[in-house]
């Protein structure tokens, strides 16, 4: 008789952003914006998330100074460097960093993530992005950004090269034979000899195969190109939907694409973003939400909204509606976020001022204000109704917003049997219930018929 299967449990990732996700968080007395380049601040956040038994923490990244630094606590650490420091003060929690495939090279990227995976004992994850702004392009000698489809073509080849490099060492390549003076079996350390449209890489990687084999592959784009890319390569998806119905539609769409790549539904975890504004009562939570809204600088919000919509909104009346927007096909930045924001404004008949307020906490991700029980109810509903495998938790203010979630929401989810009470694995792949991939490079024949050279 087969053993009963384990109950399905949700996955929780903490998306950490300087003073918090709300664009006015740095002005709130509960935050510490003066510490955004203090490693001890982020070490505390990482340890808090680990105390809550969360699967992972995540740092976004861009290759330009996002937004108007005049009005927000922007800028900070390069994420792989920061995560290396956080690896030394944590033991179990996964460590996910964003790295762009448009303005990096596969060899550098594969080497850095393999290094982080070794440093952390198998806890590294790569959020794969193609970069979405012309400001980033202009930091790399380009006057304009690469076309959206071309960026994804490059990303596909980039990931394929990185995987080949991670597999260029077999797991048992290192012999460490002091007597014979043989450190490694060179028949098991092989060039990849990749020659493609965008990259030519000889290999092998100069880092041995890491504890996870491949770092966890994460993706965050929800355009048509993004969803297809996720179905082919990603093992976790960070996404943004405003309603349960939208979440269910996205979930079903992406999961249904997996079969064409020989993948099963459980091979990919979908984690919508949620920005939880937590209070001991609903009135307290809504009061905190209003406090943050009242601290917003309209100039900042308008500039951010202009970037999302690919339209200059400066000078327009804040209490008026959105102007006529371009078609999605004409957007060369983040297509999925453009569509989400435009539909939100149209659906709810929002003025510019109202839209800026609605986007302040999540930039298009869902914001929900309520008690810990109400937050848990929302997560449970999406999880059990086919809209999520877990959540990308985006605290509106830090460190308190993360502490509130860990101390008050997580125990409710644990009591309901929806979330782990202890870590059962040590690697990020084990947390997400994903197998360690086998090496994919075909063996080569050495002069001694495969014997150590």
Encode pLDDT of 21-65 as tens digits: 999 999 999 999 999 999 999 999 999 999 999 999 999 998 888
Q: Are 98 and 127 in contact (CB under 8 A)?
A: yes
- Whether the CB-CB separation of 196 and 223 falls below 8 Å is answered with no
Residue 167: pLDDT over 60: yes
- CB neighbour burial string for 181-193, b if at least 16 within 10 angstroms, e if fewer: eeebbbbbbbebe
Beta carbons of 298 and 70 less than 8 angstroms apart:
no
DSSP 90: -
212 pLDDT above the threshold of 80: yes
Per-residue pLDDT for 267 more than 50? yes
Tell me the average pLDDT across 311-326: 79
Q: Which residues of 49-78 are buried (b: 16+ CB within 10 A; e: fewer)?
A: bbebbbbbbbbbbbbeebbbeebbbbeebe
Whole-structure pTM value: 0.90
Residue 10 and residue 21: Cα distance in Å, rounded?
22
298-309 and 335-348 helices, crossing angle to 10°: 120
Give the pLDDT mean for 136-147.
Answer: 81
**pLDDT at position 356 over 70:** yes
Residue 96: pLDDT over 90: yes
Q: What is the mean pLDDT of residues 213-228?
A: 91
The pLDDT of 241-256, averaged and rounded, is 95
pLDDT at 446: 41
pLDDT digits (tens, 9 = 90+) for 225-242: 889 999 999 999 999 998
d(CA 335, CA 68): 22
């Amino acid at each position: 008789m087969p053993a009963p299967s384990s109950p399905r449990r949700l996955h929780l990732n903490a998306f950490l952003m300087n003073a918090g996700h709300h664009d006015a968080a740095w002005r709130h007395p509960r935050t510490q914006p003066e510490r955004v380049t203090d490693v001890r601040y982020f070490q505390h956040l990482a340890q808090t998330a680990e105390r809550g038994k969360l699967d992972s923490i995540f740092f976004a990244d861009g290759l330009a100074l996002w937004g108007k630094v005049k009005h927000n606590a922007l800028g900070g650490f390069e994420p792989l460097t920061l995560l290396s420091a956080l690896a030394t003060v944590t033991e179990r929690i996964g460590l996910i960093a964003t790295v762009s495939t448009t303005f990096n090279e596969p060899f550098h990227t594969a080497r850095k993530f393999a290094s982080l995976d070794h440093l952390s004992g198998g806890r590294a994850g790569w959020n794969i992005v193609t970069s979405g702004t012309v400001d980033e392009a202009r930091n790399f000698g380009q006057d304009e950004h690469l076309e959206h489809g071309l960026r994804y073509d490059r990303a596909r080849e980039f990931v394929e090269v990185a995987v080949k490099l991670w597999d260029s060492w077999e797991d048992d390549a290192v012999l460490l034979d002091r007597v014979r003076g043989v450190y490694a079996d060179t028949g098991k350390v092989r060039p990849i000899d990749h020659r493609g449209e965008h990259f030519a890489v000889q290999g092998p990687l100069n880092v041995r195969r890491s504890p996870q084999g491949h770092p966890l592959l994460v993706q965050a784009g929800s355009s048509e190109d993004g969803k297809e890319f996720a179905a082919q390569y990603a093992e976790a998806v960070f996404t943004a939907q405003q309603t349960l119905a939208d979440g269910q539609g996205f979930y079903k769409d992406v999961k249904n694409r997996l079969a064409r790549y020989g993948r099963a539904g459980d091979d990919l975890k979908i984690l919508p973003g949620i920005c939880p504004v937590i209070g001991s009562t609903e009135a307290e939570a809504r009061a905190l939400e209003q406090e943050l809204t009242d601290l917003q600088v309209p100039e900042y919000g308008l500039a951010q909204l202009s970037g999302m919509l690919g339209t200059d909104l400066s000078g327009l009346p804040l209490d008026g509606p959105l102007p006529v927007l371009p078609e999605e096909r004409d957007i060369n930045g983040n297509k999925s976020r453009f569509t989400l924001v435009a539909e939100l404004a149209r659906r709810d008949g929002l003025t510019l001022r109202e839209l800026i307020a609605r986007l302040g906490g999540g930039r298009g991700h869902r914001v929900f204000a309520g008690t810990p029980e109400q937050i848990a109810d929302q997560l449970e509903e999406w999880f059990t109704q086919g809209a999520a495998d877990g959540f990308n938790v985006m605290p509106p203010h830090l460190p308190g917003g993360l502490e509130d979630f860990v101390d008050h929401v997580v125990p409710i989810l644990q009591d309901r049997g929806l979330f782990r009470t202890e870590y059962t694995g040590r690697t990020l792949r084990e947390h997400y219930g994903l197998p360690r991939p086998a090496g994919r490079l075909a063996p080569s024949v050495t002069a001694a018929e495969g014997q150590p050279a």
